[in-house]
Amino acid sequence: MPAAFDRVVVLDFEATCDSGTPPSPQEVIEFPSVLVSLRDREVVDSFGTFVRPVHHPTLSAFCTELTTVRQQDVDAAPVFADVLAAHRAWLEGHGLFDGQGRERFAFLTCGDWDLQTMLPVQCAAAGIPITSLPRAYRRWINLKKVFLDVVRKAKTTSMLAMLQALGLELQGTHHRGIDDCHNIARLALALADRGARFELTGKLAASHYPELPLELQRGDRVERIFLKKRHLASLLGLASGVFRTKIVRVVGPDGAAIEDDDPLAELPPESRLRVFGARDPAT
């Protein structure tokens, strides 16, 4: 059974937008979070700041009306790289990473957009490699899926509909990031009271990762490759072509067998992997 988390960090970006197609690149203009202890059933702390967009610095009237974020709010705000650094420091200050940098929490979002789409787009716009971020920013719990596990007959999973289904009233302004975070936190606590398990539901798609240079070793032979997609099936296929035999097993730099896609997301460039055909010795 997947691990369940007893601490979650609610995250709900607000970004540049317009009544039609959003600006390209779309940029974060509000970066809020709320730390929730599901074990203690309480909100522990919150983080929030506006963010100054640099590619399209002028907010549309539609964006201000939707989010209530004003031009003067973003003009006086730090840029995304500085906000991201402050957010990481806030997480670390709450002891949410262990001594090896592994997360002791999961991000909780209302949908997949914040971390599947918006964060990679914003990082690319700011020149920040997505792989430089702690793993926690590349996997998450979608509250809508937790809600549907508990309220099985629900017909819709908008935030307002979920609040209504659980007998909660909207607090603050919808589409204002920090207010949405607090409302999502209230939903999480209500679902926890109903026995919900908070397990990871999503992770960053392989298409968002950069091409990965690797060394493959089979016996005494070493070949350099470039892995375009961080899928184990792609790696096995590429290795089979390089060594002209069907490769069935891959061992990472730490000596552990790579049996799914997850370890490939964390591999640093130029890692050396050992590969084995069906008849090769296992050592």
The CA–CA distances, whole Å, from 190 to 11, 46, 157, 195 equal 17, 19, 15, 9
The CA–CA distances, whole Å, from 36 to 41, 131, 176, 183 equal 7, 26, 19, 12
Contact 107, 115 (CB under 8 A): yes
For the record, the structure tokens of 66 come out as: 């939707």
What is the rounded distance in angstroms from the CA atom of residue 172 to the CA atom of residue 51? 20
Contact 11, 115 (CB under 8 A): yes
Task: Report, as residue numbers or ranges, the catalytic residues.
Answer: 14, 175
Peptide bond into 25 cis (omega under 30): yes
* Residue 111 CB partners (closer than 8 Å, separation 6+): 142, 143, 144
